[in-house]
């Protein structure tokens, strides 16, 4: 049963520290998305990649957030320096675009708490 995996599942850190979240998309999927979910803002798209190239990162605060795909099996989202307002659940999703197959498959999320 192919799944998107994310690590860590939970992260507690102090303000100013660097945070790195990792995602392994489903094997063969060439599109990867990063979302952030909070009670106040709901689900927000931060960035997405196709074939490892960033297509849109307009939802991401550029000064502190960065997203990369070092290879086809790994996507990373970094926050440096972290701030309390970054506390949220961060989801990765992957997919394989095609006619009528816009389905995205979500990972379990990383719950980030910045103190």
What are φ and ψ of residue 98, in 5° steps? 180, 175
DSSP per position, 82-106? --GGG-EEEEEEEE---TT----EE
Is 93 one of the binding residues for other proteins (CB under 8 A)?
A: yes
Q: Are 86 and 79 in contact (CB under 8 A)?
A: yes
- Exactly one of 24, 107, 112, 114 binds other proteins (CB under 8 A); that residue is 107
Q: Are 60 and 45 in contact (CB under 8 A)?
A: no
Is 59 one of the binding residues for other proteins (CB under 8 A)?
A: no
- Exactly one of 48, 60, 82, 114 binds other proteins (CB under 8 A); that residue is 48
Q: State how far the alpha carbon of 17 is from the alpha carbons of 41, 47, 68, 72, 83, in Å.
A: 23, 22, 19, 27, 8
Q: By C-beta, is 74 or 96 nearer to other proteins?
A: 96
Query: Which positions from 16 through 35 interact with other proteins, judged by CB under 8 A?
Result: 31, 33
Select from 57-65, 69-77, 78-86, 90-98 the region that touches other proteins (CB under 8 A). 90-98
> Smallest gap, in angstroms, from Cβ of residue 63 to other proteins?
25
Residues engaged in binding other proteins (CB under 8 A): 4, 31, 33, 42-43, 48, 50, 91, 93, 95-97, 99-100, 102-109
């Amino acid at each position: 049963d192919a799944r998107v995996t994310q690590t860590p599942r939970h992260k507690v850190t102090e303000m100013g520290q660097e945070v790195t979240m990792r995602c392994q998309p489903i094997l063969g999927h060439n599109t990867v998305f990063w979302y952030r979910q909070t009670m106040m803002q709901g689900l927000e798209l931060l960035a997405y990649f196709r074939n490892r190239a960033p297509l849109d990162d307009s939802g991401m605060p550029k000064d502190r957030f960065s997203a990369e795909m070092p290879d086809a099996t790994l996507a990373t989202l970094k926050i440096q320096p972290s701030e309390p307002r970054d506390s949220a659940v961060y989801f990765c999703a992957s997919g394989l675009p095609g006619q009528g197959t816009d389905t995205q498959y979500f990972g379990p999320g990383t719950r980030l708490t910045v103190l």
